[in-house]
Amino acid sequence: MAKTRAKPVIRRSTKTARKKVGKKSKKKPASGFKVLAQLAVAAPSDLTAAVKQEIRAACPAPPREITDDMDLSDDLRLTGDLKRGLAGAFQQIARRFKPGARISLDDCGGLTDVASAIALVAKRAGF
Amino acid sequence: MLLVASGASADEPESTATQAAASTSSDVWATFWKHLQIRQNTNVKKDIAKPAFVTLTIPDEGDRTYQIGFGALASVLSTSRVDLDALVDYQRNSAAASLQDVFKGGATGEWRLWSTSASGHHQTAILTYRGNYKNDNVKDSETWQGAIGYTHLFIGAAQQRPLPGDGLRPFIFPNLPRPFGSALEVTYFPLLEFEFDRVFKAKTPEDEGQVTRALGQLSVQLLPAPRRFNELKQQLEFLLSYAYRHDLRDTTNETDDRHPLFTFDANYYPVKGDRGDFGFGISYLNGEDPDEGFERQAYWQFSLKMRLK
């Protein structure tokens, strides 16, 4: 068991991001992949960084840089068990923005790429 | 995710309520489909998901033969550390010397003792559990089954304490893919389990009783040139598995206490997607599996295969 030296810094200074989301929410709701892409873009940078840090930590052989379009299974070699193992960490991130947010093992088991992971956490965090 | 539909409130207009109900219904089906898994069997959930297969042979003369290995898991409850799936399982083989015709229905799940994260635990024990009804049409028996298992999961490369060499965890860590350059990726899955059977209906009173078995299983998955095949949206895999069951207590009239089972699969999936794979492969099996009502035998099998992940 390895412990961290320093916890990731998640700031609550997300006013800008929330304003952007608020403006977007007045528009007609988009669907499917467009929604995921919007959520991934609208998520605050500290949330995005925290999600990527968790994905990196789970990777058997992490690359130097993790980008939004990377496939969790094919590019990052995350098995179903490893993807499901992200649930607790993602839930912690989401709860920093929205106490009581819930992310389940099954939610994470169904993730396909990094963008979908960011979108899931952003959605549950209330963005 | 909990698969429970929440109905619309009574004071809503009918059209709104109808729309909400339709929406909720479609949400439930979308969730059901998203988390549905189809695999060869469900007796060990924390295992390599072998693909399901169905083979029907209708000869001009003689009896039809069936070879079916089908298991489905549907999510009932899921939190960040605990989940529960409903299971349906049907195993039939009328082409081999020892017949098999077993149906199971019940529930299975897992409990991760700790959440893993970059700043917290890098490993967790996983306890698995299963409870189901089994109907064995060959032995003409009905059984209540239960199982409790244990395996251990380590998340990826150690980020907080960089490792020497290539920075990867050593090969000894289970349930964690270990790349060997770009040529090979190996993952192994150990499992310890106790299985409890209560045969409550059988041909004769002597066949009824209770059985407690200990199970040790080691499965290995080998993926040659994984990145190359991923670029082609295909997959080639070799699966080896050895399971040894030992009867710790048996009040039925079965005299065999040792149940080894070795399986080997070579599968090629020309169609590979995020949700499932479709392909064909070769399987070799030697041994017995009392949990699946499978008597001791050995055979090769060539078949089309499919799995939903």
Residues of A in contact with B119 (CB under 8 A): 3-4, 6-8
Domain B36-308 classified CATH 1.10.260? Answer: no
Tens digit of pLDDT for each residue in B283-301?
898 999 888 888 888 888 8
Helices (H) and strands (E) in chain A, counts: 7, 0
| Through-space distance between the first and last CA atoms of chain B, rounded to whole angstroms | 16
Average pLDDT estimate for A23-52:
63
pLDDT in tens, B87-118: 999 998 887 777 889 999 999 999 999 999 98
- Tell me whether residues A60 and B169 touch, CB distance under 8 A: yes
- B278 neighbors B306 (Cβ within 8 angstroms): yes
Contact B91/B41 with Cβ under 8 angstroms? yes
Give yes or no for a contact between A121 and A94, defined as CB atoms under 8 angstroms apart.
yes
Question: Domain coordinates of chain A in residue numbers?
Answer: 31-124
Q: Which residues of B touch A94 (CB under 8 A)?
A: none
pLDDT band at B22 (very low <50, low <70, confident <90, very high): low
| DSSP 8-state code for residue B7 | P
To the question of pTM greater than 0.90 for the whole model, the response is: no
Q: How far apart are CA B202 and CA B136, in angstroms?
A: 9
Q: Are B196 and B145 in contact (CB under 8 A)?
A: yes
Q: Taking Cα atoms as reference points, which of A50, A85, A78 lies closest to residue A63?
A: A78
Q: Which residues are bridge partners to B213 per DSSP?
A: B195, B247
**Which chain B residues are closer than 8 Å to A73 by Cβ?**
274
Does A121 lie at the interface with B, CB-CB under 8 angstroms?
A: no
| Interchain pair A107, B115: CB under 8 A | no
Question: What is the rounded distance in angstroms from the CA atom of residue A23 to the CA atom of residue A17?
Answer: 10
Contact by Cβ (8 Å): B186, B180? yes
- With b for 16 or more beta-carbon neighbours within 10 A and e for fewer, the B197-220 pattern comes to bebeebeeeeebbebebebebebe
Which band of pLDDT confidence, cut at 50, 70 and 90, is reported for residue B20?
low
Interface residue A49 vs chain B (CB under 8 A)? no
Please state, as a whole number, how many other Cβ atoms lie within 10 Å of the Cβ of residue B153.
Answer: 25
Q: How far apart are CA A71 and CA B230, in angstroms?
A: 10
Contact A105 B78 (CB under 8 A): yes
Give the amino acid at A9. V
- Specify the pLDDT at position A49: 94
Which of chain B's residues have a Cβ under 8 Å away from the Cβ of A81? 46, 126, 153, 175
Q: Distance of alpha carbon A114 from its chain centroid, rounded?
A: 7
Q: What is the pLDDT of residue B40?
A: 81
Q: How confident is the model at residue B265 (pLDDT cuts 50, 70, 90)?
A: very high
Put simply, whether B234 touches A (Cβ < 8 Å) is no
Residue B79 has pLDDT above 70, yes or no: yes
Chain A to chain B Cβ contacts (< 8 Å)? 132
**Where are the domains positioned within chain B?**
1-34, 36-308
A34 touches chain B (CB under 8 A): no
**ipTM summary value:** 0.79
| pLDDT surpasses 50 at B229 | yes
- For residue B275, the distance in angstroms to the closest alpha carbon of chain A comes to 8
Contacts of A75 in chain B (CB under 8 A): 230
**Rounded Cα–Cα distance for residues B44 and B51 (Å):** 14
pLDDT score of B191: 94
Strands B53-57 and B37-39: unpaired
- The pLDDT of B152-176, averaged and rounded, is 72
Give B202's contacts (C-beta < 8 A, 6+ positions apart): B139, B140, B141, B142, B208, B252
CA-nearest of B276, B294, B273 to B285 is: B294
| β-pairing verdict for B178-180 and B141-154 | unpaired
Question: Among B8-22, B50-64, B218-232, which stretch is predicted with the lowest mean pLDDT?
Answer: B8-22
The encoded tokens of residue B132 equal 């189901």
The encoded tokens of residue B109 equal 């799940």
State in Å, rounded, how far the first CA of chain A is from the last one.
33
User: Nearest-CA distance from A75 to chain B in Å?
Assistant: 8
User: Considering only residues 157 to 186 of chain B, which have any Cβ-Cβ distance to chain A shorter than 8 Å?
Assistant: 157-161, 166-169, 175-179, 185
